[in-house]
Chain A
Amino acid sequence: MLSLQSARIVGGEFIGLQNFVTLAEDPVFRQALGNTVLYSLVVVAAQLTLALVVASLIQPLGPRSRTFYRALFYLPLVNSAILIAMVWRWIFNANPYGLANTVLGAFRLEPLLWIGSSDQALAAVILSAVLTIPGGGVVLYSAAMSSLPRELYEAAEVEGAGALTKWWYITVPLLKPTTLYLLVIYTILAFQVFERVYVMTNGGGPNNATITIVQLIYSTAFQFGRYGLASAMAVVLFIMAVAVAVVQFRSLRSDVEY
């Protein structure tokens, strides 16, 4: 409801859809929307691929190795996004003593400004997310793989299918429900990206290069006191999340029985 009001610190009157019109015309909001969508596309694609590949590699190992690796990949995730983002800020700092620049130096590349530059800041933020193995996804894929029917694999072996063929034509399609579930969860989580941006780039980076929707909601509401406008942004975020969830339910309903 607040999204339809001109709410500031006190008062506020009903202004209809004016806030949404303002948003549609606001270049910063468009930037935030674009950054959030780009971040989500790249990060979610990377997370799903990494989770699937890592879980597939873990699967043939013995139960003890499996337990070990599941824990190994989940350990980084028990720490808060804030702490991890602080380390990434430190790694991607623009100085020559930044670790990312040292790695570039090792390959005889010029140091970059990373989070200090409006061209590279978003890439640094995305890279920091991609470089973490999504432990939750690994665990879920791994659990789902354990319950796949053996018969299909045996039939494929009789036909002389190789490991990669079996993986691509049996494992991956059978994991579709898990993939869809993770797709939705990770997309909704990616839409909410805030801590990374808040910490790594002081809440938006040079020229709003890394501004995201939640970051903009936060600054619009709690730094500039424009609660109505910020609520309109929250409504947009909500609609994005619902849209993703609806698409999932649709695809689940049309799911093929094997």
Chain B
Amino acid sequence: MSSIRSGLPVHVVLLAAGLLSLFPLYWLFLTSLSPTQYVVRVPPEVVPRELTLDNYQRLFETTPIVRWLVNTVVIAGVITAFHLLFDSMAGYAFAKRRFPGKDLMFWLVVSTLTVPAQVTLIPVFFILRTLGLLDTYPGVIVPGLADVFGVFLMKQFIQTLPSELEHAARLDGASEWQVYTRIILPLSKPALAVLAIFTFNRYWNAFIFPLVILRDPAKYPVQVGLATLQGEFNTDFGMLMTGAAVAALPMIVVFFAFQRYFIEGIRVGGVKG
């Protein structure tokens, strides 16, 4: 079999590329587990001689990392819940219903996908200030709801669903709401799973919006909180890497648990990285 002979070098190249890509993560966890004197060792050791949880202890004792993690879960969780509801509704309407201006509206929705989010940063900031929402949780959550990636994803999925069930239900006198909750939602579970994971991941990792909107460090999500631990000249890299490890771990676990949904999401909805 030629495929086995030619396969081996391919695997070697791919694994090497994969390990190179994963190296920052490895270095992150390794530094977090290394005693301080090894962190600044010349030369640094790629394979550890001694591991310790000192950095973790220091992190949990001296920074509000737990509070930051809770903030992140709340912010990303609430945004995700709203997206599941809104995006499935809008996706259903765009995929299955007829209404005037539908094509134009969908085109408008999709065209906003090409607008860099940072372009809207300053207007959003001013709107939130007018509404008195700066430095509040709703202030971080509400702008997150105006993100149309999920509408596109749900529309693409729902339009592949057969319309017969929907028609049958309507003949039996089902209302619009019943069609949506009893037929569309249960059939859309795989797409909803993709949407939930993508949205949660995205807002878990959000940075510039919360950085600008929040002032009170007690309200920071973990990414923004960690960035404040960096000093201009003097940074405790052991502790910083530990904080980053703590923030990264939940997403890595989520990825391993729901890997196929991630891959499916990229295939259907395009890339985010």
**Quick one: closest A residue to B45, CB to CB?**
A102
Bound Cα distance from A67 to B262, whole angstroms: 12
Residues of B within 8 A of A194 (CB): 118, 207-208
Bound Cα distance from A230 to B206, whole angstroms: 21
Task: For A99, give its contact among B18, B44, B201, B232 (CB under 8 Å).
Answer: B44
The answer to whether A83 touches B117 (Cβ under 8 A) is: no
The answer to whether B115 touches A86 (Cβ under 8 A) is: no
With known contacts A91-B27, A97-B42, A133-B17, A238–B119 Cβ distance under 8 A: yes
Bound Cα distance from A80 to B230, whole angstroms: 16
Task: For B14, give its contact among A57, A76, A195, A230 (CB under 8 Å).
Answer: A57
Residues of A within 8 A of B263 (CB): 67, 70-71, 74, 139
Query: Is B133's CB within 8 Å of the partner chain A?
Result: no
The answer to whether B123 touches A78 (Cβ under 8 A) is: no
Residues of B within 8 A of A218 (CB): 121, 208, 212
- Chain A nearest CB: distance from B45 CB in Å? 10
Among B49-57, B79-87, B97-105, B243-251, the stretch in contact with A: B243-251
Given contacts A97-B43, A139-B263, A234-B119, 9 further A-B contacts (CB under 8 A): A2-B122, A57-B10, A71-B263, A77-B272, A136-B270, A192-B118, A194-B207, A198-B227, A235-B119
The answer to whether B117 touches A192 (Cβ under 8 A) is: yes
Bound Cα distance from A95 to B31, whole angstroms: 16
Bound Cα distance from A256 to B255, whole angstroms: 38
Bound Cα distance from A77 to B22, whole angstroms: 9
Query: Is B162's CB within 8 Å of the partner chain A?
Result: no
The answer to whether B270 touches A78 (Cβ under 8 A) is: no
CB-defined interface of B115-133 with A at 8 Å, one 1/0 digit per residue? 1111101110110000000
* Chain B residues near A (Cβ < 8 Å): 3, 7, 10-11, 13-14, 17-18, 20-22, 24-25, 27-28, 31, 40-44, 114-119, 121-123, 125-126, 201, 204-208, 212, 223, 226-227, 230, 232, 237, 240-241, 244, 247-248, 251-252, 254-255, 259-260, 262-263, 266-267, 270-273
- Chain B nearest CB: distance from A258 CB in Å? 22
Bound Cα distance from A83 to B241, whole angstroms: 8
Residues of A within 8 A of B247 (CB): 80, 83
With known contacts A61-B10, A87-B241, A191-B116, A139–B122 Cβ distance under 8 A: no
A-B contact list, 7 entries, CB within 8 Å: A72-B18, A77-B273, A78-B201, A83-B247, A140-B266, A194-B118, A238-B115
